[in-house]
């Protein structure tokens, strides 16, 4: 299976490329703003960019679109850039899927919900609160309207191994290893279902292998707020100079509204793949501790 991974230098894309390659699939991973040794340049905002990789020569069977602007507060204050990098890039990925008659896998988020109940199912009504969430939903809708052979996989609070270590858990654990003074003001009223990017890659691989289509929610086995998540990291890598201060989201006053009771249920996926094991935050942190 020839798989094109747009945004393969990021967390989810990088894990997809490594896992799919380990299963014997032929992968072409692209980068836009951040280059790695294993990726080639492709401008998802401008398919006519002369520096773009030659996709005609590759002829993908599957396109996984991982690239987007995920900095939620930045999106709120840079609406056009958010639209370009999330919605327009998805329009272009959809055109590529049509061109090559490939299945498109689009990565979305629980920010398409309003966060009034948590553990969202695929059939639940969407109501995004932020620019980021609205643009992710617009991109979802575009995929549904223009393709029949697609997967939309919603994820949230993704963590795991990546070159830049940008995700919350990896960044926090690395900072704690430095033993420097830290003051963490984190919201105790924002709940989510963190998921390991490696599990995301494995789950997508199964869906593709079984030629599944439609919308799926991915979720790890934890349901935590940000304070509890930080406490887990402190258990493994904390030191006496870490100060954790629980606050409300209202006290933090972020530019973008958050779905407070977020997170999703992976019930549909679990019913179709009952032997699949989702890992949890403790699994990952123990692995990181054992490496050191």
pTM assigned to the model: 0.93
Half-sphere exposure (Cβ direction) of 83: Cα atoms closer than 13 Å: 4
For 275, the 3-state DSSP assignment is coil
Radius of gyration of the chain (CA): 19
pLDDT at 237 over 90: no
Rounded CA-CA distance 4/27 in Å is 6
pLDDT at 172 over 70: yes
Residue identified by tokens 């949890």 is 280
Tokens at 49, concatenated: 């960019």
Residues with Cβ < 8 Å from 249, sequence gap 6 or more? Answer: 187, 189, 190, 258, 260
What's residue 165's pLDDT? Answer: 66
Average pLDDT in the 98-116 region?
Answer: 97
pLDDT at 252 over 70: yes
Average pLDDT in the 253-259 region?
Answer: 95
What confidence category does residue 141 fall into, taking pLDDT thresholds of 50, 70 and 90?
Answer: very high
For 210, the 3-state DSSP assignment is coil
Rounded CA-CA distance 88/80 in Å is 10
Query: How many angstroms separate the most distant Cα atoms in the chain?
Result: 57
Rounded CA-CA distance 71/106 in Å is 18
Contact at 8 Å (CB) between 42 and 190?
no
């Amino acid at each position: 299976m020839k798989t094109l991974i747009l945004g393969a230098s990021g967390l989810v894309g990088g894990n997809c490329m490594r896992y799919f390659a380990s299963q014997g699939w032929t992968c072409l991973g692209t980068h836009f703003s951040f280059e790695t040794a294993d990726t080639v340049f492709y401008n998802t905002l401008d398919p006519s960019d002369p520096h773009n990789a030659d996709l005609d020569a590759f002829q993908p069977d599957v396109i996984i679109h991982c690239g987007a602007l995920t900095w939620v507060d930045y999106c709120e204050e840079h609406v056009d850039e958010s639209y370009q990098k999330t919605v327009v890039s998805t329009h272009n990925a959809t055109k590529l899927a049509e061109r090559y008659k490939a299945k498109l896998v689009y990565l979305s988020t629980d920010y398409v919900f309003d966060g009034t109940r948590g553990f969202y199912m695929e059939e639940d009504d969407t109501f995004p609160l932020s620019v980021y969430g609205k643009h992710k939903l617009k991109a979802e809708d575009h995929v549904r309207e223009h393709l029949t052979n697609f997967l939309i996989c919603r994820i949230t609070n993704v963590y795991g191994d990546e070159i830049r270590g940008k995700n919350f858990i990896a960044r926090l654990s690395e900072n704690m290893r430095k033993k420097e003074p830290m003051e963490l003001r984190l919201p105790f009223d924002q709940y989510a279902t963190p998921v390991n990017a490696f599990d995301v890659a494995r789950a997508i691989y199964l869906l593709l292998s079984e030629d599944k289509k439609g919308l799926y929610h991915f979720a790890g086995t934890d349901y935590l707020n940000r304070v509890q998540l930080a406490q887990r990291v402190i258990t493994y890598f904390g030191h006496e100079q870490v100060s954790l201060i629980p606050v409300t989201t209202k006290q933090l006053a972020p530019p973008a509204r958050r779905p407070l009771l977020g997170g999703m249920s992976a019930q549909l996926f679990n019913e179709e793949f009952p032997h699949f094991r989702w890992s949890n935050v403790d699994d990952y942190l123990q692995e990181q501790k054992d490496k050191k």
